[in-house]
Amino acid sequence: MKSFGGKVLFLDRSDINTDEIIPARYLTEISKEALKPHMLEDLKLGGFDPKDPKNQEAGVIVTRANFGCGSSREHAPWVFEINDINVVIASSFARIFRQNMFNCGMLAIELSEADIDKLFGFRHAAARIDVDFENNSLTISSGNESSTFHYQIAEFDKALIKAGGWVEFADARY
Amino acid sequence: MAMTLAEKIFKSRLRDEPFPGTKVLDIDVVMCHEITTPIAINDLVARGKDRVFNPDKIKVVIDHVTPAKDSKTAQQGKILRDWARRHNITDFFDIGRNGVCHVIFPEKGFIRPGYTVIMGDSHTCTHGAFGAFAAGVGTTDLEVGILKGVCAFREPKTIRINITGTMPEGVYAKDVILRVIRELTVKGATDCVMEFHGSVVKGMSMESRMTLCNMAIEAGGTSGVCMPDEVTADYLWPFIATEYKDRKAALEDFKRWWSDEGCEYVKVIDIDVSHMEPQVTYGYKPDEVKNISEMEGTPVDQVYIGSCTNGRLEDLRVAAQYLKGRQIAPTVRGIVSPATPKIFREADQEGLIKIFMDAGFCVTNPTCGACLGMSNGVLAPGEVCASTTNRNFNGRMGKGGMVHLLSPAVAAATAIEGKIADPRKFRKEGI
Ligand code: SF4
């Protein structure tokens, strides 16, 4: 199982699509490694610089609604995975992206908009998030301040993460 | 209990419910193209699981970048080609016989009412036009589909969309779906099936219904669906003639998939199209849509007619009606890409290809090409394209480029004027 936690990259926008996460011009690559430098390269978000080395330090993304809409490309979770980001926290996800995350053994966590706002309250501090996978909770912390949130996750999605992804799960069962 | 079409398909194809709320379905058709499948193949090989559940239920096409534009795309094609050969997958469409996946597979009669269909491509929702449950999936789901013929879903809820009134001059299926997305927003149908009903849908050809269902994903929908009816039976008849006594018998059989009276919808939307204008997107999201009267005069550098949304014969005919005897503006690059060889040939026989070429269009071979900015018409930074495709995301047709989504009629009018133009201003010519 992957480890879930790390410094936070805040992306303060809804409807971030998979073309922004990894543009189609890189879909000719057949290795995850080759995608690595192109994470969020076309993201349209004021003040965001895809080349900022801080992005590479992150382990968790916190964002708004409908994250990962658009194309079905699994390259979107892969480009996060290869950059050691295994958790995305949003107020909602597009269906295919969400399933792709779990299918790769990564965590897509949905919180209410109010809770997401609270997470964004930490955006100017050097915040990190740690996930307690067994107990479906996460803690954001910065200096002496910290805050814990509970989230819901489908049993199936949890099982996929534990099984190491959908291929192994399905091949054993069907 | 009254059920929706999607619920009926889920019930009939249910293989397993490993956890409450998760349904694992048997899949009737697994479709593959060269962008998302080679990685699935490589992974299966690496895991020592290079097998396919049933070669006859797997349909394969090379369509996104074809002919290959460089060594990397050539390699993607080769992986797919070699794999199809070693597993005896005979429905494999390679150069000369290949076309855009969501256009060529229905054209070959691979989709039937009640089917479950998956592909590593988000516009798989197109095939719901036949009364199928068709959903785009990622590479891992595709891999399991290839290996085991199953896929897991949360049972979707259904949104009912009633489209009524009389289609005005210059307004087409593309305008209707842009209008629907404008209403639902880009996330309004997440985890939902979008069911299209109403007199306007009943009167639509299969081509137009595919245009509607194609863009369900742009509202977040899992699949778009239409109830399979006489039009569906007529379209499918060459492929099902041996299975049914006559078309009436086919239709009776199809009706078992219809959503029942009194079934549960999470939302019902009514749209009367009678006074609708042609619709055009203005931003970087497909729900950023305006009436054409607010968009007229926007200069464009390129006009693209093609894709799984609007690259069918019907679309080429519409555009040609406006282009016949006219020239496109000298400032505009016009590109038309018939979506399959059959469409190309028919367009040629009908004289449409000549009309496009006389007007100053470049006609490409069938391919996705410029739609996703990989080949055949990539934009330079700052350039603007009026496009009959389905996505206007930032960078979609090339880094720094801007895409306005619109119908083939608006595309034709825009090509003539060099700026976004209302097709209703132009007299249509007989073709
Ligand atoms: S035409 Fe465009 S949207 Fe359709 S399958 Fe090809 S790339 Fe995707």
pLDDT at residue A165 greater than cutoff 90: no
B148: nearest CB among A23, A97, A170: A170
What percent of chain B has pLDDT above 70?
Answer: 100
- Split at pLDDT 50, 70, 90, the class of B429 is confident
The string of pLDDT tens digits covering residues A129-139 is 999 999 999 99
| Element containing residue A130 per DSSP (H, E) | strand A128-132
- Split at pLDDT 50, 70, 90, the class of A168 is confident
pLDDT at residue B26 greater than cutoff 90: yes
Domain count across chain A: 1
Distance (angstroms) between ligand 1 centre and the Cα of B215 equals 11
Query: Could you check whether B5-270 and B282-425 share the same CATH topology?
Result: yes
Backbone angles phi and psi of A105, in degrees to 5: 75, 20
- Owning domain of residue A159: 5-173
pLDDT at residue B431 greater than cutoff 90: no
Rg (CA), chain A: 15
The complex scores an ipTM of: 0.94
CATH code of residue A112: 3.20.19.10
Give the distance, in angstroms, between the CA of residue B171 and the centroid of all CA atoms in the same chain: 18
The string of pLDDT tens digits covering residues B142-166 is 999 999 999 999 988 999 999 999 9
Instruction: Suggest the residue from A29, A72, A81, A97 to mutate for an interface test with chain B (most B CBs closer than 10 A).
Output: A72
Taking an 8 Å cut-off on Cβ atoms, the answer to whether A66 and B186 are in contact is yes
d(CA B414, CA B423): 8
pLDDT at residue A124 greater than cutoff 90: no
Distance (angstroms) between ligand 1 centre and the Cα of B329 equals 27
pLDDT at residue A7 greater than cutoff 90: yes
Whole-number pLDDT of residue A118: 97
Residue in chain A nearest B287 by alpha carbon: A15
CA distance B182 to chain A (A): 14
Mean pLDDT value across residues A157-171: 91
Mean pLDDT value across residues A68-91: 97
B282-425 CATH choice from 3.30.465.10, 3.40.50.360, 3.30.70.1280, 3.30.499.10: 3.30.499.10
The string of pLDDT tens digits covering residues B205-222 is 999 999 999 999 999 999
Exposed/middle/buried for residue A31 (C-beta within 10 Å: 0-12, 13-18, 19+): exposed
The string of pLDDT tens digits covering residues B89-117 is 999 999 999 999 999 999 999 999 999 99
A103: nearest CB among B72, B124, B140: B140
- Residues of chain A that touch chain B, judged by Cβ-Cβ distance less than 8 Å: 14-15, 17, 19-20, 23-25, 27-30, 42, 44, 65-66, 69-74, 77, 92-97, 99-100, 103-104, 154-156, 159, 165-167, 170-171, 173-174
Distance (angstroms) between ligand 1 centre and the Cα of B367 equals 9
Whole-number pLDDT of residue B129: 98
Q: Are B411 and B426 in contact (CB under 8 A)?
A: no
- Split at pLDDT 50, 70, 90, the class of A30 is confident
d(CA B118, CA A100): 14
What is the pTM for the complete model shown? 0.96
Total Cβ atoms within 10 A of residue A42: 20
Whole-number pLDDT of residue A155: 95
Which residue is associated with the tokens 């998030």? A129
pLDDT at residue B409 greater than cutoff 90: yes
Average pLDDT along chain A: 95
B5-270 maps to which CATH number? 3.30.499.10
Mean pLDDT value across residues B321-326: 97
Residue in chain A nearest B397 by alpha carbon: A24
The string of pLDDT tens digits covering residues A135-151 is 999 999 998 899 999 99
Taking an 8 Å cut-off on Cβ atoms, the answer to whether B284 and A44 are in contact is yes
- Split at pLDDT 50, 70, 90, the class of A125 is confident
